[in-house]
Amino acid sequence: MALVTKVNPIGIDIPIDTIQRALYKALITNGNWQNYQSYHRAYKNPKGDGIIPEIFSINNDYKESFFDDKYDVVSMFIADDVRPIHNDTDFKSDVSIIFHVDLTKIIDTVTTHRADEEFISVVASVLRNIGFGMELISIETELSNVYTEFDLDTIKWDNMQPYFAVRFNMAVPYYYDCSITYGSVQAGDCNLAVSVAVCPTTTIGGSEGTAEAFTCGAVGSLTYLWDDPLAQTTKKATGLSEGTYSVTVTDTGVLGCSSGSSGTVIGPGAAPTCNLLITGISSTRPSVFGASDGTGTVTTSGAAGTLSYIWDNGETTNTAVGLDAGPHSVSVLDAAAADCHASDAVIVDIGMAFSLYTKESGSTTFVVTGDGTAIWTDEVETIVGDSATFTFADATEKKITVYGDPLLITELNPNYYHSGKITNTMDISQLTNLTGYIYAYNNDDPNFNIILPTTSSAITRLKIDNCAELTELDFSPVSSNSLNALNASFNPKLITFTGGVSSGPITSSSFQYNTLLTSLDLSGYTGMSGTIRLEYSGYTTVLLPSTSGAFTLIYGNNCTSLTSIDLSPLGNISTDIRFNGCSSLTSVTFPDSTGSILNLRMNNCNLSYADVSVLSGGLSVNSAIWNFSSNNLTTAEVNQMLVEMYGLVSSEGGGGDYTGRSIQVQGNSAPDGSSGGYDGDQAVIDLVAKGITVTTD
């Protein structure tokens, strides 16, 4: 006779005696177990018949010995108070069946039969098929009092031990409801009994429920038929929503033997009222104009359950990132309430056009020309327009950010970005349509720097002078062909300068008093003319552009590290060439120039011969001074240069009035009449005869 009773799901009521009897019956009828008699010659039981004895009644600790204490071969413990194997959502508890085995009593030392592995294999096979909704989850063995995981599939371990304990961990449904009395089931009798255990849905309106049939008294294999919409035919029906479900179970081993039962899948209850409200929505700008790294954040109240979010860019959290400027919408859904959602929108403001830092206090004005599109802001003020006047309480550093389309900003007013107003980095790299002047001089903060835009727009002047702490300066991004002036002077800590490329008509180039700057490359400015100022700098090399422009002044005085200077790329020089006091200068190359030179002064250098014959424009008519005094010229070099200078004077034609002109070569070797194949003495006589004052040693 089979009995089916439902068990309280809070406590575990496992019929231990039934498990023991099922295990015992399976073991003594298992062929592998009976073969132990041939392998285990040392084995005897109290009855002396080589058969495992009946399991006697258990005590309160669920402990029962298979054998008496005389042999002490195996002890079995069945406990339902060990650690959980499944979590609560699986509606499972666990039971562990533990054997202690002394293999020294049951192993055949002749054949070295692996009794330990066979023993575990037999018991595992039984427990896999023991029924009652139980499931063999894992096998652990204890060697030297330490449990180690045992492979469920292979039933193998690496090292055989003479003594071990084995724990078979079984998962058991809470709704364990079958109690069996063996011997009452007879072939041809229908003793099938069925009960149903259910698991609820976890969400309102969900279909996560399950129903599982448990049987007792079956003779043959079982078939199942559920009355759910899918008419499932498995022991366990899944995907069930709330409701009552019935199952019909048929025992194929008994003609016409069917039994049924039902269970009710419950859920979390009725959907609550929708009270969802969006209470706030905010945004942050993209980092720069045109970027897509702005954010939007929505806050809510009144939610009954888990909220889901959908932004118009596909993001699914309450804060969306990766937003560009402009309007963005969000929808919020409350999963716990029926048809419960709310929507709102936010406008993400435009990103940065450029930024700057200042330590100004009091009233400070900055001006751009940008067709009214610039938005100026600091920590406390926001101003829309091209002109911003801020009133700062103190001289602490403040970041000023100009938001807007950088392409619409066409001018930075040169009156408002210099004289100490700018600290830290002034990044105007996005302003590629700038025109006019870029002035950032007299900004002597230790962190001052400027990043120029990569542009060919009509920028006419770059002036970054008198920045006491500036160490790097890069003019290369600006390739404007409208450039007419370059100024990067009086920067005493400047060590790196990068020039650009422009054919603009640059008439003023000032790179003087840069005492630490060793290399100056101006070769890309092919439209250069007018004046070049290089004085009092640390240059060792200077590269000038190849240009046909007319130069009136080239100054390089007191560049004490300069060893050579090539002026030949410059097309035409008139008026002044001065490199006085360049104590390391040994070589100079003059351009092929028709300009009339008023002042050619290269005294107090370390020059050897310099070819002046290419200066075909000769000495200026008005008070010209050509001075090569205090250099390192030999007698032959002095002779040759004096002869070439007279050649320039004599080629002017018509004799002319040279009174007031001066040629000075003292402080070198004295001229003579023959050294180097030139008659220096005669050249002096001829020059004096023209009215020119000549001073030599």
> Mean per-residue pLDDT for 211-231?
88
In a domain? residue 422: no
In a domain? residue 595: no
In a domain? residue 408: no
Given pLDDT bands bounded at 50, 70 and 90, which one contains residue 340? confident
- Which of 20-29, 35-44, 91-100 shows the lowest per-residue confidence on average (mean pLDDT)? 35-44
The whole-chain average pLDDT of the chain stands at 76
Looking at the fold, whether 154 and 218 belong to one and the same domain comes out as: no
In a domain? residue 87: yes
Q: Is the confidence at residue 428, as pLDDT, over 80?
A: yes
Identify the burial level of 617 via C-beta atoms within 10 angstroms of its C-beta, where 0-12 means exposed, 13-18 middle and 19 or more buried: middle
Which of 294, 320, 348 terminates a domain? The answer is 348
Write the CATH number for 99.
3.30.70
In a domain? residue 355: no
Q: Is the confidence at residue 154, as pLDDT, over 70?
A: no
**Residue 221 belongs to what domain range?**
193-265
> Mean per-residue pLDDT for 34-54?
30
Angle CA 663–664–669, to nearest 5: 130
Looking at the fold, whether 152 and 36 belong to one and the same domain comes out as: yes
Looking at the fold, whether 41 and 105 belong to one and the same domain comes out as: yes
- Output the DSSP codes for 445-496: -TT-EEE---B-S-EEEEE----TT--EEE-TTB--TT--EEE--S-TT--E
Looking at the fold, whether 229 and 336 belong to one and the same domain comes out as: no
Q: How far is CA 161 from CA 142, 144, 149, in A?
A: 10, 9, 15
Which of 348, 364, 393 terminates a domain? The answer is 348
- Output the DSSP codes for 67-108: S-TTT--EEEEEES-S--SS-GGGTEEEEEEEEEEEGGGT--
Long-range contacts of 231-239 (CB under 8 A, 24+ apart): 236/210, 236/211, 236/212, 237/210, 237/211, 237/212, 238/210, 239/207, 239/208, 239/209
Q: Is the confidence at residue 287, as pLDDT, over 60?
A: yes
In a domain? residue 625: no
Given pLDDT bands bounded at 50, 70 and 90, which one contains residue 419? confident
Residue 54 per-residue DSSP state: P
> Mean per-residue pLDDT for 470-486?
93
Other beta carbons less than 10 A from residue 38's beta carbon: 11
Given pLDDT bands bounded at 50, 70 and 90, which one contains residue 42? very low
Q: If you search the block for the tokens 């045992």, which residue do you land on? A: 150
pLDDT, tens digit (0-9, with 9 covering 90-100), for 606-640: 999 999 888 877 776 566 888 999 999 999 999 99
Looking at the fold, whether 156 and 250 belong to one and the same domain comes out as: no
Rounded to whole angstroms, how far apart are CA atoms 444 and 470? 7
- Which of 38-42, 289-293, 501-505, 593-597 shows the lowest per-residue confidence on average (mean pLDDT)? 38-42
In a domain? residue 188: no
Looking at the fold, whether 131 and 167 belong to one and the same domain comes out as: yes
Question: What domain count does the chain have?
Answer: 3
Q: Is the confidence at residue 533, as pLDDT, over 60?
A: yes
Q: Greater confidence, 57 or 426?
A: 426
Looking at the fold, whether 35 and 159 belong to one and the same domain comes out as: yes
Sequence-separated (6 or more) residues with CB below 8 Å from residue 106: 36, 39, 40, 42, 43, 73, 115
Given pLDDT bands bounded at 50, 70 and 90, which one contains residue 280? very high
Q: What are phi and psi of 24, to 5 degrees?
A: -60, -45
Q: State the pLDDT at residue 413.
A: 83
Looking at the fold, whether 155 and 35 belong to one and the same domain comes out as: yes
Looking at the fold, whether 107 and 227 belong to one and the same domain comes out as: no
Pair 106, 118: CB distance under 8 Å? no
Looking at the fold, whether 88 and 55 belong to one and the same domain comes out as: yes
Looking at the fold, whether 258 and 322 belong to one and the same domain comes out as: no
User: Which uninterrupted H or E stretch holds 121?
Assistant: helix 115-128
Q: State the pLDDT at residue 15.
A: 45
Looking at the fold, whether 123 and 168 belong to one and the same domain comes out as: yes
Residue type for position 644: E
Rounded to whole angstroms, how far apart are CA atoms 35 and 37? 5
pLDDT, tens digit (0-9, with 9 covering 90-100), for 162-176: 455 666 666 655 433
3-state helix, strand and coil shares in percent for the chain, rounded to the nearest 5: 10, 35, 55
